[in-house]
Amino acid sequence: MSVNKNEAAACLVIAAGVVLALVVGSGAVSLPTAAPVATPESGEAVPVTNTAVLPTATPVLTPAPTPKVETVRFSASGDNLIHEGLYNQAHARAADGGYDFTAAYEHLKDFYAGFDLNWINQETLVNSAFSPSGYPMFSTPAEMAGDLYEVGFRAFSTSNNHSYDKGAEGIASAMACWDALPEDAVAMGFYDLTTYDNYAYQTVNGITIGYLSYTESTNGLPTPADSSYGIVYLSQTDVIQKQIADMRPHCDVLVVSCHWGVEGSHNVTDGQRQTAQWLADQGVDLIIGTHPHVTQTAEWLTAADGTDAFVAYSLGNLISAQSEPDNMIGLILDITMQKTTAPDGTVTVELRDPRLHPTVTQYENGYSNIRVYLFDDYTDEMGAAHGNFSLSREYIQGVLDDSVDTQFLAG
């Protein structure tokens, strides 16, 4: 087959275009020079110059590593003080002849649902071994444990001045009640008196929290001789120091509950302040105070190593059937635990944004229909109908302003 010069030239140009398309399609940035072609007029070969502008490949950038941030929004509630009126109304509300305490807390259930973890001081001995009883030797029906779980609590402090009210059998039964809760719940406060090392940990949202719980007294009742478990007194500093040292490497945040202070007093004692500072110096991050049954202030502490710790000296009562207006006013601590893991693996943990949400216990004449509300939801009309005394919003606010550093008060 013969091909004339014009046809040959066209074939070469087409071939060069194919090469160009192939090279462009491959993402290359340079092209081979095409072979010269002859012009019809002169018959001389003229080089074909490649004039196409090709895009350069966009470099793929590796994003810079960023820190991993994990948080737990944590709440702590004060004394769950179960008097006769509370367990009697719970018995009347139960359909099966047992006890149903949930109605007393129903106005706070949605509030607690906003937290990742809710802690409470269970002031009275929850057990199934003894009949219910009130002041001064408390026994609270076992249903309380499950009902508090239903309300949203997952961490329970059990070391207080009523821990020994029912002796060795009461301790064993109480521990069994808490152990029967689902695995995401923990209780702390009764320790193996031989080793003291039955520690409580909880991991939520990647943050591991360790708990310890201590009391100043047990109302003069000694540790039962026939019990292998008991409380640790705040005066047992050698035991406490060892427990903190044992736990500190295994948790991101260490929380300690202290049952201390003077009942009915809004004033923080020198002993409370000294103990709080000592605990912070040992490595405790968060100190929760209970026992006075009224509100006391909170503050940041600087530990010996320069780190921060936070203490709420008394959260007051969450609920009770006590008979004084100030016993009706409590606080719920709201604080965020934040863990930051840097790209090199370095971990830092801090407590952020502490707030104290006031609560009010309401009941009518004869300590009937006992329940608890957020102060935000409490009205003067409710206060006027309070049993035993009138309780106005103005009075409640005055107590809070006088007893708590207002920088921490929510609302």
pLDDT in tens, 204-263: 999 999 999 999 999 999 999 999 999 999 999 999 999 999 999 999 999 999 999 999
Whether 373 is in a domain gets the answer: yes
Same domain? 268 vs 393: yes
Instruction: Assess whether pLDDT exceeds 50 at residue 296.
Output: yes
| Cross-strand bridge partners of residue 364 | 368
Q: Kindly list the distances between the CA atom of residue 120 and the CA atoms of 316, 349, 367, 394, in Å, as whole numbers in the listed order.
A: 12, 23, 23, 27
Same domain? 139 vs 252: yes
Average pLDDT along the chain: 90
Whether 51 is in a domain gets the answer: no
Instruction: Assess whether pLDDT exceeds 60 at residue 50.
Output: no
Same domain? 157 vs 264: yes
Same domain? 320 vs 189: yes
Whether 58 is in a domain gets the answer: no
Same domain? 30 vs 122: no
Ramachandran quadrant class, 353 (left: phi over 0; alpha: psi -120 to 50; beta: rest): left
pTM of the model: 0.86
Per-residue model confidence (pLDDT) at position 5: 39
Same domain? 86 vs 15: no
Per-residue model confidence (pLDDT) at position 7: 42
Per-residue model confidence (pLDDT) at position 59: 78
Whether 364 is in a domain gets the answer: yes
Same domain? 144 vs 195: yes
Which of 1-15, 45-59, 142-156, 384-398 is predicted with the least confidence, judged by mean pLDDT? 1-15
Is 211 within 8 Å of 202 (Cβ atoms)?
yes
Tokens representing 217 are 């007294």
Whether 264 is in a domain gets the answer: yes
pLDDT confidence bin for 61, thresholds 50/70/90: confident
Instruction: Assess whether pLDDT exceeds 80 at residue 172.
Output: yes
Number of domains in the chain: 2
Same domain? 42 vs 113: no
Same domain? 215 vs 307: yes
Same domain? 31 vs 148: no
Q: For residue 401, what is the enclosing H or E element? A: helix 393-403
Structural domain harbouring 17: 5-46
Instruction: Assess whether pLDDT exceeds 60 at residue 11.
Output: no
Which of 57-61, 223-227, 262-266, 353-357 is predicted with the least confidence, judged by mean pLDDT? 57-61
Whether 63 is in a domain gets the answer: no
Per-residue model confidence (pLDDT) at position 377: 98
Mean local confidence (pLDDT), 154-162 = 98
CA dihedral sign, ordered 9, 15, 16, 17: positive
Amino acid at 11: C
Per-residue model confidence (pLDDT) at position 97: 94
Per-residue model confidence (pLDDT) at position 307: 97
Whether 54 is in a domain gets the answer: no
Same domain? 13 vs 115: no
CATH of the domain at 146: 3.60.21.10
| Cross-strand bridge partners of residue 72 | 337
Mean local confidence (pLDDT), 189-200 = 98
pLDDT confidence bin for 330, thresholds 50/70/90: very high
Instruction: Assess whether pLDDT exceeds 70 at residue 147.
Output: yes
Of 7 and 144, the one with more pLDDT: 144
Instruction: Assess whether pLDDT exceeds 50 at residue 14.
Output: no
Per-residue model confidence (pLDDT) at position 55: 65
Tokens representing 43 are 């018959």
Mean local confidence (pLDDT), 308-335 = 98
Q: What does the alpha-carbon distance between residue 80 and residue 70 come to, in Å, rounded to a whole number?
A: 30
Closest-CA residue to 309 (of 329, 332, 330, 289): 289
Same domain? 90 vs 36: no
Mean local confidence (pLDDT), 18-38 = 40
Closest-CA residue to 255 (of 358, 109, 156, 359): 156
Instruction: Assess whether pLDDT exceeds 50 at residue 362.
Output: yes
Per-residue model confidence (pLDDT) at position 62: 82
What are the residues whose beta carbons fall under 8 Å from the beta carbon of 20, sequence distance 6 or more? 31, 50, 52
Mean local confidence (pLDDT), 380-408 = 97
Mean local confidence (pLDDT), 277-296 = 98
Mean local confidence (pLDDT), 36-45 = 48
Q: In this predicted model, what pLDDT tens digit does every residue of 62-119 receive, in sequence order?
A: 888 899 999 999 999 999 999 999 999 999 999 999 999 999 999 999 999 999 999 9
The DSSP secondary structure of 16-50, one letter per residue, reads HHHHHHHHHHHT-S--PPPPPEE-TTT--EEPPP-
Whether 56 is in a domain gets the answer: no
Q: In this predicted model, what pLDDT tens digit does every residue of 387-398 receive, in sequence order?
A: 999 999 999 999
